[in-house]
Amino acid sequence: MLQERPRELLAFLGRQAAGFTRKPVSLQQLILVLQRTGLPTFAALAAEALWVEEHGERPGLPVEVRSKLDQLRSRGKAATFAERLDAYRAVRAARILPWTASMFIIAMTLEDESFDRLGDVPEIERLSARIREREAAYGLKDGETWLIGEAPDDVEALRNEWDAVAYRTKVAFFRSHGEVEIADLMERERALYERLLELGRGHFFGGEVLSVLLQ
């Protein structure tokens, strides 16, 4: 049975909520703050984390979720984006993992697919071409580039513009695939979104998530 680490999560969310309100908040106030920010799913998940703190356990792996995961494993690299997203949403709906872990696998699936499709975005193509032109003008050969922060100012400006377009494209991709609240979080509180991803990533590197998904 997977054990959540709710105290750490709720303490972190409490610090975030205190930033919104400029004063310390209780766990109950935290839930209200998250609701007022227009992120009701996150408020519900915070409430769930509080419940787990009091009860200490989550349900096992449902048969239908196990079936979806078994299908992913059997298909391996041939599994489609839609199949992966469907399976990971089933994991989230079953609430068998910490919610930050479920958010992580869904967000990474969407982020990877969004990145793979950037070549279809006209503005990205235009900026990429401009960056290559400027690199060539500075004498760089094909495949050569500068480290982040070390390019000439005009190239760095183009890179920053590329990054901004890519991020807006990613947010729109999340929204178009039904992850509206995560997209809202990415737009309103990017630093918080990235911190929650790191919390989710930590569950996988710790091994506890894999033990549940492979049981």
Question: What's the token pair of residue 58?
Answer: 């989550």
What pLDDT is stored for residue 2 in this prediction? Answer: 27
What pLDDT is stored for residue 8 in this prediction? Answer: 54
**pLDDT tens by residue, 106-117:** 999 999 999 999
Measured between alpha carbons, how far is 162 from 88 in angstroms, rounded to an integer? 30
The reply to whether 92 and 30 lie within a common domain is no
Measured between alpha carbons, how far is 39 from 179 in angstroms, rounded to an integer? 12
The reply to whether 65 and 31 lie within a common domain is no
pLDDT under 50: residue ranges of the chain? 1-6, 20-21, 25, 38-40, 206-215
Q: Kindly report the pTM of this predicted structure.
A: 0.69
The reply to whether 199 and 133 lie within a common domain is yes
The reply to whether 95 and 117 lie within a common domain is yes
Domains in the chain, number: 2
The reply to whether 34 and 77 lie within a common domain is no
- Can you say whether the dihedral through the CA atoms of 7, 10, 14, 16 is positive or negative? positive
Structural domain containing residue 26:
1-58
The reply to whether 145 and 94 lie within a common domain is yes
Measured between alpha carbons, how far is 86 from 79 in angstroms, rounded to an integer? 11
* Residue type present at position 193: Y
The reply to whether 112 and 181 lie within a common domain is yes
The reply to whether 144 and 213 lie within a common domain is yes
The reply to whether 107 and 46 lie within a common domain is no
Measured between alpha carbons, how far is 136 from 117 in angstroms, rounded to an integer? 25
